[in-house]
Structure 1
Amino acid sequence: MFSRPQAFLCSVLWLLVAAAAPVLANQGPLVEVVQAEKTLVRDELITFGSLRSDESVMIRPEIPGRLAALHFREGQSVEAGALLISLDDAIARAELAQAQANLSLAEKSHQRVQMLFKRGASNAQALDEASAQQQAARASLALAQARLDKTRIHAPHDGVLGLRHVSPGDYLEAGQDIVNLEVLDPLKVDFRIPQKAVSQIRLRQTIEVSLDAYPGERFRGAIYAINPRLDEAGRSQAVRAHIDNADGRLSPGQFVKVLVILAERPDALVIPEEAVMPVGEQLLVNLVVDGKVELREVRLGKRMDGKVEVREGLLGDEVLISAGWQKVRAGMAVRSKVVEPAP
């Protein structure tokens, strides 16, 4: 049994609950609501590829000879025309001196025969022979000079040298590997796309590259070459892009994930995926308009992590029910709890 004060308190509480019940009933169920957000949405084609030097050349001698001197350090940056290798040029210089002497003699002989021919003391055949010997001597001199020039090897373009394969004093054969020279800025990105996506790829299309060495980072580039012929074995098309590497963080040979940007919509409407209500073949969302539920059919686009793009059906200023729409129906009054969208 309750005491008189306790009984009075219970009566008051019962009256308060009874009075509040119709008010709560009129307000309707509590639902969570969000507003559609505008954000960048991109259609992407994901594939994989490799980084390559923009230019890559193996420095090799064109003539055999003993390696006299190396004029570079491994890993050094060099400019076009920088002297890299000197071969022993003693024989080449001797051949050049001999060719110069032969040319001097041939020129003097030609001058004498020409003088005699003018005086009538020589015939045309002797003049032709002297002229031919002079031309042959000039050709021999040019050949000797070319052989001497090939004892000194210069960088064909700006770049970074790799690791050398020889040492001073080695005897080198023609075509033997000495050191590689790489152009590291920009870099090439080689990748392949499947046959079904060929029509979506075009020149100057933007790509983004990511790799395990730099988690969470993306490096942008652009397509500059597309192989017009598909690979018959894999039915794929080879594509090549350029990517800036001014800071030297990327290296040739790295395996990369490539995202080809097919389309960008900077102001696309995005809503939580759980706000969409499938009804048969229709896709509906529940809006809160003047405190009551209103149904709206929508057409969806790209799906992302927990979110989906709305292509048609919304203007962007609507308030949508994201949680609790299962317990409401069109025209019902509801109480709203605003939920901040997830980042």
Structure 2
Amino acid sequence: MAAELPLPVAAVTRQTMAQERVFHGLTEAVQQSTVSAQVTGRIIEINFDVDDFVPKGAVIARFRDKEQKAAVKAAQARFDQASAEFTRVADVYERKLIARAAYDKAEADLKAAQAELERAQEQLDNTVVRAPYAGIVTKRHVELGETANVGQPLVTGLSLEQVRVTVDLPQDMVGVVRERGQARVVLPHLGGPGVAATSITVFPYADPASHTFRARLELPAGLQGVYPGMFAKVFFVTAEVQHLVVPAAAVVHRSEVTAVYVVGSEGQIGLRQVRLGDVANDSVVVLAGLSEGEQVALDPNAAAVYLKQQVSGPSS
């Protein structure tokens, strides 16, 4: 360049950028489940209601446990008796005073009593229903004092710790999504370029009514301000194309005109109208008006002052 300019410049460059198609999806909790009764009995305690936060391991409900405690007590007595009998028989067997069959029977009786005690203890443990993970109660299916049967739903809940996105794809997108496996998720209320999906799963069957394929996108854990049931925009990468780009700082907006200050090889400056496309990080795609390698001013205000000085000429 013939003369050094008193302002920063940058070259119009060509960059490889992702070409994307956008679809609308919904967020959902990765962990969502219904806790059911494992015993039959009367509910004597319910500690949480709809919209309550439940810590992991917290007691959700208790069942009347009188029968289960009695069963454990009886099973413990039978186990103690079988254990004592086995000890006696083993001692006699070591002195070769009884046959092997008697020893085997005592051992089998002990194992059966132990298994019975474990089953009884498990049934007693099942009278206390605990949260499998920390989360929010979304539905309560029973009331205090109600008798519930094995398998009957008690509460439904979900975890807020990790959220994913589901979206329905047309048939022509299935192949490219599986091949490229790249997408970013934008939540309108958060703004910004969005977050990259950590993995994408496309279900291997279509909905018979809409003929679309469900895709599930996993998101990074710990995202703030993201909850199940939100709308999301999903941008799937379909190809990579080259575009001319300029720094976003070089762009001037005047009324309905979009332009940049172009710096010539001899240091002359001119305002040129351009047509721009998408914004990518700190750059803007140039659709028309510039060529690769041309120089643009990074400080439009300083460029305007410099251009005015060029037009008016040096002051006397």
User: How far is 1:302 from its partner?
Assistant: 7.9
Q: Does 1:227 align with 2:210?
A: no
User: How far is 1:45 from its partner?
Assistant: 1.4
User: How far is 1:109 from its partner?
Assistant: 2.2
User: How far is 1:105 from its partner?
Assistant: 1.3
TM-score normalised by L of structure 2 = 0.66
**Aligned partner (choices 168, 190, 196) of residue 144 of structure 2:** 168
Partner residue of 2:87? 111
Counterpart amino acid of 2:182?
A: Q
CA distances 1:225-282 after superposition (whole Å, capped 9, x unpaired): 32273638536462423166644x443233433233566989814999999xxxxxxx
Q: Distance in 2 between matches of 1:82 and 1:144?
A: 23
Give unmatched runs, 5+ long, in structure 2. 1-9, 267-273, 280-284, 298-309, 312-316
Partner residue of 1:32? none
Q: Distance in 1 between matches of 2:87 and 2:68?
A: 29
CA contact (8 A) 2:183 2:234 kept: no
Q: Distance in 2 between matches of 1:66 and 1:246?
A: 41
**Aligned partner (choices 212, 218, 243) of residue 241 of structure 1:** 218
Q: Secondary structure at the match of 1:49?
A: strand
CA contact (8 A) 1:189 1:241 kept: yes
Q: Distance in 2 between matches of 1:80 and 1:130?
A: 43
Matched residues, number: 268
Report which of the two structures shows the higher radius of gyration computed on alpha carbons: 1
CA distances 1:70-120 after superposition (whole Å, capped 9, x unpaired): 233432333322222211111111000000011111122223333444556
Q: How does 1:265-280 map to 2 (within 5 A)?
A: 268-269=245-246
The verdict on how the C-alpha distance between 1:44 and 1:110 changes in structure 2, with shifts beyond 3 A counting, is: same
**Aligned partner (choices 35, 38, 61) of residue 37 of structure 2:** 61
More deviation, 93-102/120-129: 120-129
Q: Distance in 1 between matches of 2:60 and 2:176?
A: 47
User: How far is 1:69 from its partner?
Assistant: 0.9
Partner residue of 1:18? none
Q: Distance in 2 between matches of 1:69 and 1:252?
A: 29
CA contact (8 A) 1:43 1:302 kept: no
Q: Does 1:180 align with 2:184?
A: no
The verdict on how the C-alpha distance between 1:89 and 1:267 changes in structure 2, with shifts beyond 3 A counting, is: farther
The verdict on how the C-alpha distance between 1:187 and 1:69 changes in structure 2, with shifts beyond 3 A counting, is: same
Counterpart amino acid of 1:207?
A: R
Counterpart amino acid of 1:183?
A: S
CA contact (8 A) 1:187 1:242 kept: yes
The verdict on how the C-alpha distance between 1:200 and 1:121 changes in structure 2, with shifts beyond 3 A counting, is: closer
TM-score normalised by L of structure 1 = 0.61
Partner residue of 1:313? 291
**Aligned partner (choices 46, 51, 70) of residue 94 of structure 1:** 70
CA contact (8 A) 2:203 2:213 kept: no
**Aligned partner (choices 156, 159, 178) of residue 135 of structure 2:** 159
The verdict on how the C-alpha distance between 1:289 and 1:311 changes in structure 2, with shifts beyond 3 A counting, is: closer
Q: Distance in 2 between matches of 1:49 and 1:253?
A: 10
Q: How does 1:67-86 map to 2 (within 5 A)?
A: 67-86=43-62
More deviation, 192-201/264-273: 264-273
More deviation, 48-57/189-198: 189-198
Q: Secondary structure at the match of 1:238?
A: strand
User: How far is 1:173 from its partner?
Assistant: 1.4
User: How far is 1:123 from its partner?
Assistant: 3.2
User: How far is 1:165 from its partner?
Assistant: 1.8
Give unmatched runs, 5+ long, in structure 1. 1-34, 276-286, 291-299, 320-335, 338-343
More deviation, 58-67/309-318: 309-318
CA contact (8 A) 1:56 1:180 kept: yes
User: How far is 1:158 from its partner?
Assistant: 2.4
The verdict on how the C-alpha distance between 1:142 and 1:318 changes in structure 2, with shifts beyond 3 A counting, is: closer
Counterpart amino acid of 1:205?
A: Q
The verdict on how the C-alpha distance between 1:176 and 1:200 changes in structure 2, with shifts beyond 3 A counting, is: closer
